[in-house]
Amino acid sequence: MDEPTIGELLRDLQADVSRILSQMDRYVTQEQRAADQRVAELELAAVAKQVAAQQARTEAMKTWVWTAVVAPVIVGIILYAVLGKP
């Protein structure tokens, strides 16, 4: 078997390096993973803040419904019962 020439070795080396580089593109570095994790945490915090705001609005709406609708109806029924029928 003949020894490979310098040109053949160089071509093989270039092919190996290009194959390694193309495979490295599939991997994620730890810095990229940490950055992605931080972004996910920030997005989760934003969603949690939106949920808390929605819950506060819901509680405010419940209070408004109670004071504006239900309480006057109950007071009206009590006054009708106390004062009697006209």
CA distance 42 to 34: 12
Q: pLDDT tens-digit profile of 25-73?
A: 778 788 888 999 999 999 999 999 999 999 999 999 999 988 888 888 8
The pLDDT value recorded for residue 85 is 65
- Please give the model's pTM, rounded to 2 decimal places: 0.53
The pLDDT value recorded for residue 28 is 78
Backbone CA torsion sign across 44, 46, 50, 52: positive
Q: What is the mean pLDDT of residues 68-84?
A: 88
The pLDDT value recorded for residue 29 is 83
